[in-house]
Chain A
Amino acid sequence: MSLAPTPSQTVGPFYGYALPFAKGGDIAPTGHPDTVTVHGYVYDGAGLPIPDAIVEVWQPAPDGSRTGAPGSLRRDPVKGEIIGRDGVAFTGFGRIATDADGHYVIRTLPPGGAPYLSLIVFARGLLHHLYTRAYLPELTDPTADPLLASLSPERRDTLLATPDTGSAPGVLRFDIRLQYDGVHEETVFLAFD
């Protein structure tokens, strides 16, 4: 049996009350010593940052489990507001709206059994979301990973988070470029069938 899928449509500009939630990028339990920070900008084909993109992240827990856990958008039972994670459970899921500078920040724990964070990008102007991966340098052997090994070095580099010079250890930079801007390589985006 194969059903025809419902088409995608753009997230548009007005998702603000619906999708972003408090501490959406703080996947790591509060104050965990192994926390890695992955941050960057989402850019368009003119090289300008996109202030109304949404980045979602999904990853295995540090022990390698891939079942995730509820509680990313935990609610205040009195007021109904989203109060976010309880700071203990590892849900594996994060969601960050880029700020006015087109910037996003993820604080998480290194995934177990896979060297990358799986990312989805949504934006006004983008009719169908895009998948990409942020490979973490300490976990990644670019010659052994089948996806990375299949890419040219310039294309491959768009999937590698890099240590952020001048920042504390454990801070990685991962920019997402929706389109070649004349200077910078377009990020590799993925398809799954």
Chain B
Amino acid sequence: MTTPLTQGDISAEIADEREAYAKRVADGAPVENHPSRGYAPYRSSVLRHPKQPLVAVNGDPEAVELTGPAFGVTDITAFDHDLTRQHHGEPLGERIKVTGRILDREGRAVRGQLIEIWQANASGRYAHQRDDHPAPLDPNFTGVGRTLTGTDGEYEFVTIKPGAYPWRNHVNAWRPAHIHFSLFGTAFTQRLVTQMYFPGDPLFAYDPILQSVTDESARARLVAAYDHDLSTPEWSLGYRWDIVLDGPAATWIEEGR
């Protein structure tokens, strides 16, 4: 029988990964904005990442991936962005508004594109058959939202703050509260699936999924800002989270060149 993996084991690995990254950067390696797919402290990654280097498809203006799918009003309904109004009753929990802008790395607004979110309820339980965390389900909360970005790339969701939840990466592993985001840019190369975190969460340091982003400033970009001006009196608290999509796009189409 193998010894159960403790938080101490995982935290030591997280520290080692961070040290190795700091040394790479000090030696002149580029900043890493995304997690390494082979980040071992997240144990599920071990058999699920390629070991061969990715093959670069650069400078091919004909690459299909430089364009991407389109979404429109038929893909969305009016209630999709408000996760608190999708059932007959009100969900339990702390009502929040999450808003921000989607830009590409050139700083251009991503307009009219689809954002999808999903999250646990206030107790840290997903409305999913395979979530067996013994926390209550909320009959008034599915935890799924969609919206299209506006002309300035802006989006807004109304939801409740998700709870932290346990998982089985190691003994006593807990995910910090987070909302899963799925985003499309103007090109398939800009596709992004990520997670938004809440400021000041005491679980950050223990979580190998957040810590898989070894660069400190990159990691900070996954954390929303509490914005008191977005809080609505007697109603909800407000968070701002701006998102920058990586990857090139076929701008000659958009600009009609």
Residues of A within 8 A of B (CB): 1-19, 44-46, 48, 50, 56, 58-60, 66-75, 77, 80, 91-93, 111, 113-114, 116, 118, 120, 122-131, 146-147, 150-151, 155, 178-180, 186-193
Q: How many residues of B contact A (CB 8 A)?
A: 86
Flag the segment in B2-10, B13-21, B59-67 that touches A: B59-67
Q: A124 to B42, alpha carbons, bound, how many Å?
A: 10
Inter-chain contacts of B48 with A (CB < 8 A)? 44-45, 50, 123-126, 178-179
A-B contact sample (18 more), CB < 8 A, given A127-B209, A179-B50, A193-B247:
A7-B218, A7-B219, A9-B180, A12-B180, A14-B118, A44-B48, A56-B191, A58-B65, A67-B70, A73-B71, A118-B188, A122-B193, A127-B35, A146-B60, A188-B55, A189-B55, A190-B54, A191-B56
Inter-chain contacts of B73 with A (CB < 8 A)? 70
State the main secondary structure of chain A at its contact with B: loop
> 9 nearest interchain CB pairs?
A70-B72, A125-B44, A93-B69, A18-B118, A5-B246, A125-B48, A191-B54, A45-B47, A127-B35
- Shortest distance from the beta carbon of A133 to any chain B beta carbon, whole Å: 8
- Verify A128–B245 contact, CB threshold 8 A: no
Q: Is B117 an interface residue (CB 8 A)?
A: yes
Q: Is B49 an interface residue (CB 8 A)?
A: yes
- Verify B67–A15 contact, CB threshold 8 A: no
Q: Is B163 an interface residue (CB 8 A)?
A: no
Closest A-chain residue to B67, C-beta based?
A: A66
Flag the segment in B90-98, B126-134, B229-237 that touches A: B126-134
Inter-chain contacts of A13 with B (CB < 8 A)? 128, 130
Inter-chain contacts of B247 with A (CB < 8 A)? 192-193
Inter-chain contacts of A188 with B (CB < 8 A)? 52, 55
- Verify A9–B246 contact, CB threshold 8 A: no
Q: Tell me whether A190 and B57 are in contact in the complex, defined as CB-CB below 8 angstroms, given that A46-B47, A178-B48, A179-B50 are known contacts.
A: yes
- Verify A8–B194 contact, CB threshold 8 A: yes
Closest A-chain residue to B175, C-beta based?
A: A12
Closest B-chain residue to A71, C-beta based?
A: B74
**Contact among A15, A126, A129 for B191, CB-based, below 8 A:** A129
**Contact among B57, B128, B245 for A192, CB-based, below 8 A:** B57
- Verify B105–A5 contact, CB threshold 8 A: yes
- Verify A179–B70 contact, CB threshold 8 A: no
- Shortest distance from the beta carbon of B240 to any chain A beta carbon, whole Å: 13
Q: A19 to B116, alpha carbons, bound, how many Å?
A: 8
Q: A4 to B217, alpha carbons, bound, how many Å?
A: 9
Q: Is B34 an interface residue (CB 8 A)?
A: yes
Q: A8 to B50, alpha carbons, bound, how many Å?
A: 16
- Verify A8–B106 contact, CB threshold 8 A: no
- Verify B45–A6 contact, CB threshold 8 A: no
- Shortest distance from the beta carbon of A93 to any chain B beta carbon, whole Å: 3
- Verify A118–B65 contact, CB threshold 8 A: yes
Inter-chain contacts of B86 with A (CB < 8 A)? 80
Inter-chain contacts of B192 with A (CB < 8 A)? 6, 8
- Verify B193–A8 contact, CB threshold 8 A: yes
- Shortest distance from the beta carbon of A141 to any chain B beta carbon, whole Å: 15
